Structure 1
């Protein structure tokens, strides 16, 4: 009798254990990760985000789950993806691009949102102020618009005889494209340069814009900090080198891949901070009480190998100001 009772008890435990395990797993908080690009090109950024989460005490698969939503360069897909995350009642939405942040903000006023972006979150209506965001939104910004004119100045410093420069922007992301275009047009006027603006919002349009660039015979190219371009940063670097176009972008990865210059905040730092903020909110911090983090440390990276290949002499004064020189 005792033996039958023991076996029955053990069988019941065997059935109950998976149910308990599933219950524990389902109780794990879920982060909705929303991005306008594709996962292949953002593997390093996702790793930095996970590192930030870990620093805040969360490890994916152990005490937190992440639901990834990638728009693959199609911003029109973002609203449905954000709505799906809201329906699933995720604990936090990590909106890691400017379009994703705007869509997430429109989708919910209750679920906490952590953004990583290059636009001005106050001007875009995401937060009330940087120090006191209020509401359900906070995050990290890279000051891309503010430093955009400096990229044109640096390029002009390396190719001072060039009278025509080009700016590559994505018109489907007006929150970045429009202010950056205005800032660079003002800077170009001050420097006595003719600025040609090239639009590209798809891969096909990007190929067409690069072909147009060759026809225009510009002296240099400034690449706007857009998710479409960062997802193709290595290809863009290779293209500018192959066609002997001096170019500058925000990301250090551009110079490492063969681009002439990069100037901007380190995007890995931005994603790590976004991960940490997400973790703090999971621990109970209110997004409205967490000040927006501005990455004020700007890195200048110069690829001397590319400069030599392009026949450009880098002044010692400029290379001396660089945070990193690739030889």
Structure 2
């Protein structure tokens, strides 16, 4: 009788262990793996990632509970972009996130099957990431950061209404920046203002480009360019010394080194992207069928400290109608 009892207890124990194993496996399977590739570290892109996590959390995915992240920062290196993309894809995550156009393109080159969302990308179609914004058609969707460039240039011209020359600075190696710069050129041409363009391939060239334009123009416009955003402090220092107003494409650029902008909230577009990602991880939608989203919020931001340094009343700066 005792022998039968021992056998019975052993069977119960085995079944219990089996159940625990099954539960553990089920629990593990619920943890989603998200691979993240960010082009470079600067406030706008950092906030995009912060917002992405918030958007995922809204959708029920909490870091340390049911989602884990493999975060890679390429520090603006093409070699790093490729090697990091290959590593992330090799690990077969449930989802990929690309932050900034070059990072998104690098992931697109690495996989056509793993669901991917992107943010802080100026034009997904022009970057050949989607077939169309309405119907992406592949494994990629996300949010774009194309700001109101016409309004931003108008803002600068309202600050310097007698301007004869306006400088434009960007990295010609970033396709997203060239798209914006070309649009800004058209606005200036229409306004009858001469444009002077300076490009920089790295942050090491930013100071010289800024000093050159600050000495030869009445104001400077900078699109949402990652190279110049990374060197915003340098730009701000030159702007103060030369008493030159700078309007940039993003609020964070202006906070550090500009005068004003009608700009994008990068954290908010990150949140929008996170919400998309949650739907994909839930299995409720596929990137191919999720339309690309535009920024939902824009705001006028004036750097009061910079305005004071330039002798401008910050309350005199108004958003164009």
| TM-score category of the 2 structures, normalised to the smaller one | 0.7 to 0.9
Q: Which residue of 1 aligns with 2:160?
A: 159
Q: Give the secondary-structure state (helix, strand or coil) at the position aligned to 2:141.
A: strand
Q: Is this contact kept in 1: 2:165–2:193, CA < 8 A? A: yes
1:56-85 deviations in Å (ceiling 9; x for gaps): 110111101111111101134212211211
Corresponding position: 1:62 with 2:70 = no
1:87 maps to 90
- Taking structure 2 as the reference length, the TM-score comes to 0.85
Over 3 Å counting, the alpha-carbon distance change for 1:19 and 1:198 in structure 2 is: farther
2:251 paired residue number: 252
Which residue of 2 is the match for residue 298 of structure 1?
Answer: 298
Alignment partner, residue 105 of structure 2: 102
TM-score, length basis structure 1: 0.83
| Distance in 2 (alpha carbons) for counterparts of 1:26 and 1:243 | 58
Give me the whole-angstrom Cα distance separating, in 2, the residues matched to 1:322 and 1:256: 20
- Quote the residue 1:220 is aligned against: 219
Cα distance in structure 2, aligned partners of 1:52 and 1:295: 14
RMSD of aligned alpha carbons = 3.3
Could you say which residue in structure 2 is the equivalent of 1:150? 151
CA distance 1:313–1:159, change in 2 (3 Å): farther
Give the 3 Å change call, closer, same or farther, for CA 243–22 of structure 1 in structure 2: farther
CA contact (8 A) 1:300 1:322 kept: no
- Determine if contact 1:78/1:103 at 8 Å carries over to the other structure: yes
How big is the shift at 1:230?
2.7
How many equivalent residue pairs? 317
Match of 1:294, SS state, is coil
User: Any conservation in 1 of the 2:235–2:257 contact (CA below 8 Å)?
Assistant: no
Report 1:198-277 matches (<5 A): 198-214=198-214, 216-257=215-256, 259-277=258-276
Q: Residues of 2 paired with 1:150 and 1:287: CA distance?
A: 31
- Alpha-carbon separation, structure 1, partners of 2:292 and 2:45: 23
- What SS does the corresponding residue of 1:293 show, helix, strand or coil? coil
- Residues 201 and 25 (structure 1 numbering): CA distance in 2 closer, same or farther, change over 3 Å? farther
Distance 1:308 1:252 in 2: 18
